[in-house]
């Protein structure tokens, strides 16, 4: 299966996804997502009205909600459109996005400081990066250089599977210290981060016209079904279900944060 790659349409027309290194943006109708737990931070903004997010017995009704990694949650948009922004925990954008929220409710946060601008701004090829810049601005981020190197190695070859011990040895740390420091610096586990990188790589491959089988293999998944299972556990629906909506996938290419 392949995704069509075309000029972006406004979010008022068809669902679209934009992929950049470390970030992904979905704009379109609210999908009937199953409860799921992602590997990254997710900012969800209701375009037509409030969203309802439920997690660990906490129910939040708000126009903008920030959902942390590894939190099983259910998101409902009541039939309205939404924009979902997925932020790599290694990115300073995730840190800055968290700082833009004023209301903590359990593990969730509600009320982005620029909520009014985000709900009013159209999301298309001309404005997608501007929306991202308002939602999660980029600033210089000083990550431990050893962990930054390990994350870079994973991004450069998503299909490779160096063990935590091999990565730790490469950067001069014990395995236990490496795993602890990685989670502290990145905000998610090594396993979850590797999964995020592979999903983004597969999405970029599909947007470039590769079929699901090739995209899965190149990203390091054992099979298309393995990719489908991991995609659903992360985003709440399978890649095939998402593509069946008529989704347009855009991969603008490697661009600097900013």
Look at residue 252 in the predicted model and tell me its pLDDT: 57
Same domain, 131 and 23: yes
pLDDT of residue 6 exceeding 60: no
Q: Strand, helix or coil at 101?
A: strand
Which pTM value belongs to this model? 0.71
Q: Is residue 175 part of a domain?
A: yes
Task: Report residue 232 as tokens.
Answer: 């659903």
Which residues form the domain of 172?
Answer: 145-237
Same domain, 127 and 153: no
pLDDT in tens, 167-198: 999 999 999 999 999 988 877 789 888 988 89
Q: Is residue 124 part of a domain?
A: yes
pLDDT in tens, 109-139: 999 999 999 999 988 888 999 999 999 998 7
> How large is the angle between the packed helices 212-219 and 224-235, nearest 10 degrees?
80
Q: CA-based Rg of the chain, rounded to a whole angstrom?
A: 18
Q: Is residue 123 part of a domain?
A: yes
Same domain, 159 and 215: yes
Same domain, 35 and 105: yes
Strand ranges, E, within the chain: 16-20, 23-29, 41-46, 51-55, 58-62, 64-67, 74-76, 81-87, 101-105, 108-112, 248-250
Count of structural domains, the chain:
2
pLDDT of residue 21 exceeding 90: no
**Cα-based angle 131, 139, 171 (whole degrees, multiple of 5):** 120
Same domain, 77 and 177: no
pLDDT in tens, 48-81: 999 999 999 999 999 999 999 889 999 999 889 9
Q: Is residue 245 part of a domain?
A: no
Any idea what the CATH number is for the domain that residue 33 is in?
2.60.120.280
Same domain, 151 and 124: no
Same domain, 129 and 202: no
In sequence order, the β-bridge partners of residue 83 are 27, 45
pLDDT of residue 102 exceeding 60: yes
């Amino acid at each position: 299966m392949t995704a069509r790659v075309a000029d972006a349409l406004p979010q008022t027309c068809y669902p679209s996804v934009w992929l950049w290194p470390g970030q992904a943006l979905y704009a379109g109708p609210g999908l009937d997502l199953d409860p799921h737990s992602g590997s990254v931070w997710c900012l969800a903004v209701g375009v037509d009205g409030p969203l309802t997010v439920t997690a660990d017995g906490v129910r939040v009704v708000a126009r903008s909600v920030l959902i942390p990694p590894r939190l099983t949650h259910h998101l409902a948009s009541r039939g309205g459109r939404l924009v979902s922004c997925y932020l790599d925990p290694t990115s300073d954008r995730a840190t800055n996005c968290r700082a833009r929220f004023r209301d903590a409710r359990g593990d969730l946060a509600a009320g982005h400081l620029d909520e009014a601008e985000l709900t009013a701004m159209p999301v298309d090829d001309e404005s997608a990066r501007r929306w991202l810049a308002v939602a999660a601005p980029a600033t210089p981020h000083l990550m431990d250089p050893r962990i930054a190197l390990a994350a870079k190695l994973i991004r450069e070859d998503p299909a490779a599977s160096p063990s935590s011990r091999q990565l730790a040895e490469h950067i001069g740390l014990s395995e236990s210290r490496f795993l602890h420091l990685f989670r502290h610096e990145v905000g998610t586990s090594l396993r979850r981060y590797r999964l995020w990188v592979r999903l983004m790589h597969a999405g970029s491959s599909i947007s470039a016209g590769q079929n699901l089988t090739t995209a899965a293999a190149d990203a390091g998944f054992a099979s298309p079904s393995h990719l489908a299972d991991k995609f659903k556990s992360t985003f709440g629906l399978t890649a095939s279900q998402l593509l069946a909506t008529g989704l347009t996938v855009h991969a603008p290419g490697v661009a600097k944060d900013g």
